[in-house]
């Protein structure tokens, strides 16, 4: 076989693997709808980390999948989940309640921003947000600069004035500072993955990664992947694979993907860490798996759209294909 034929076969095998993983993840997530459903006390007593956070992640990541996956059946599955999430927020009504309950919290805006970005708006929310986000207090520096990038993204998506300069804040993060690659603990690496997601609009804009940062990530991702594969921290493995796919050259790591595939159970779930939970309690299983499973679907989608880019990069013509036009060519049906 010629080198080109080899590459073609490897490309096809990777696409098959990724599509299966994304499809299986979405199937499990679809079956987990009862656990994503928001309880009646969502705006008052319920723990937002167990209610709004899962739903927010579901919305963010299924929106990416429904708008960019090349396969129509996968887009349709993601679209169904995205619509489900919007309906759970009572078409945005919930966010107005959340803002009134916690006017200085950022998460109602951050989650609302996902829907606003997709063109789903709520007039009550739109009326109240300029007030709460226009305060000087909103501009007080937050403890976590990565989180500030998330708030800036949400402001942009919602059409609000951004309260700080994105690049300045990025410069204060682990990615912006190009922290020593050996000096990162787990949270610092999570931080860097999210710096990349915010910088690239969750992988939609690969070219936004400046060359120096792309080089930094290309160099050190293999070390980080090796480390967290060894620790079997599957959600971080998935996020790092997603980061690789966010790079202008979208390098594909077949070994790491194979390892993540082996961690995915037959029902499509991916455990947070180590082996699948043995608990028979469905709520426990959901808590242990929803995040990694979503990340797998997200990373698999980005890596899938990145295959063309990485193939082109290998063939030495990355410039011709890596642009956003090609990437956004697949629109939801």
Q: Which residues are near another protein by CB under 8 A?
A: 43-45, 47-49, 52-53, 56-57, 60, 100-102, 105, 107, 110-111, 144, 146-147, 150, 178, 180-183, 185-187, 190-191, 194, 215-216, 219-220, 222-224, 226-227, 230-231, 233, 235, 239, 272, 291, 294-295
Dist CA 232 CA 234 (whole Å): 5
**3-state secondary structure (DSSP) of residue 295:** helix
Dist CA 81 CA 294 (whole Å): 11
Task: Tell the smallest beta-carbon distance from residue 34 to another protein (Å).
Answer: 20
Q: What share of the chain is helix, strand, coil (3-state, %, to 5)?
A: 70, 0, 30
Dihedral (Cα; 312, 313, 319, 320), 10-degree rounding = -10
HEC profile for 77-121? HHHHHHHHHHHHCCCCHHHHHHHHHCCCCCHHHHHHHHHHHCCCC
Task: Tell the smallest beta-carbon distance from residue 110 to another protein (Å).
Answer: 6
Residue whose CB is less far from another protein, 135 or 177:
177
Residue whose CB is less far from another protein, 34 or 40:
40
Dist CA 22 CA 241 (whole Å): 13
Task: Tell the smallest beta-carbon distance from residue 121 to another protein (Å).
Answer: 19
**Burial class for 316, CB neighbours closer than 10 Å (0-12, 13-18, 19+):** exposed
Task: Tell the smallest beta-carbon distance from residue 323 to another protein (Å).
Answer: 26
Query: Tokens 């698999």 correspond to what residue?
Result: 300
Residue whose CB is less far from another protein, 70 or 103:
103
Residue whose CB is less far from another protein, 48 or 268:
48
Task: Tell the smallest beta-carbon distance from residue 112 to another protein (Å).
Answer: 11
Residue whose CB is less far from another protein, 19 or 110:
110
Q: Which residues contact 9 (CB under 8 A, 6 or more apart)?
A: 1
Residue whose CB is less far from another protein, 69 or 291:
291
Residue whose CB is less far from another protein, 88 or 235:
235
Dist CA 85 CA 95 (whole Å): 13
Task: Tell the smallest beta-carbon distance from residue 32 to another protein (Å).
Answer: 16
- Contact criterion met (CB below 8 Å) for 292 and 270: yes
Dist CA 195 CA 147 (whole Å): 9
Residue whose CB is less far from another protein, 12 or 282:
282
Task: Tell the smallest beta-carbon distance from residue 213 to another protein (Å).
Answer: 10
Task: Tell the smallest beta-carbon distance from residue 86 to another protein (Å).
Answer: 16
Query: Tokens 């993907």 correspond to what residue?
Result: 257
DSSP single-letter state for residue 50:
G
């Amino acid at each position: 076989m010629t080198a080109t034929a080899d590459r073609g076969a490897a490309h096809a095998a990777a696409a098959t693997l990724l599509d299966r993983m994304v499809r299986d993840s979405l199937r499990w997530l679809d079956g987990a709808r009862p656990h994503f459903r928001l309880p009646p006390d969502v705006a008052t007593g319920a723990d937002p980390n167990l209610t709004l956070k899962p739903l927010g992640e579901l919305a963010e990541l299924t929106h990416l999948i429904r708008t960019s996956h090349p396969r129509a059946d996968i887009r349709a599955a993601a679209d169904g989940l995205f619509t489900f999430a919007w309906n759970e927020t009572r078409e945005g009504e919930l966010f107005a309640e959340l803002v009134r309950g916690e006017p200085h919290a950022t998460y109602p805006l951050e989650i609302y921003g996902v829907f606003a970005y997709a063109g789903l708006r709520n007039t009550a929310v739109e009326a109240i947000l300029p007030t709460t986000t226009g305060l000087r207090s909103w501009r007080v520096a937050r403890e976590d600069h990565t989180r500030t990038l998330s708030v800036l993204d949400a402001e942009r998506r919602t059409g609000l004035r951004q309260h700080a300069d994105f690049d300045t804040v990025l410069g204060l993060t682990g990615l912006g500072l190009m922290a020593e690659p050996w000096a990162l603990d787990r949270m610092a690496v999570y931080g860097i993955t999210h710096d990349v997601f915010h910088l690239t609009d969750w992988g939609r804009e690969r070219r936004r990664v400046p060359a120096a940062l792309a080089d930094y990530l290309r160099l050190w991702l293999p070390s980080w992947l090796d480390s967290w594969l060894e620790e079997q921290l599957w959600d971080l493995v998935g996020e790092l694979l997603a980061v690789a796919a966010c790079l202008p050259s979208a390098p594909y790591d077949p070994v790491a993907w194979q390892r993540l595939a082996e961690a995915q159970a037959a029902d499509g779930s991916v455990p947070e860490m180590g082996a699948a939970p043995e608990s028979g309690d469905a709520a426990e299983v959901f808590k242990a798996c929803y995040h990694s499973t979503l990340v797998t679907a997200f990373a698999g989608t980005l890596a899938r759209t990145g295959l063309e880019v990485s193939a082109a990069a290998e063939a030495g013509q990355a410039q011709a294909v890596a642009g956003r036009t090609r990437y956004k060519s697949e629109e939801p049906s």
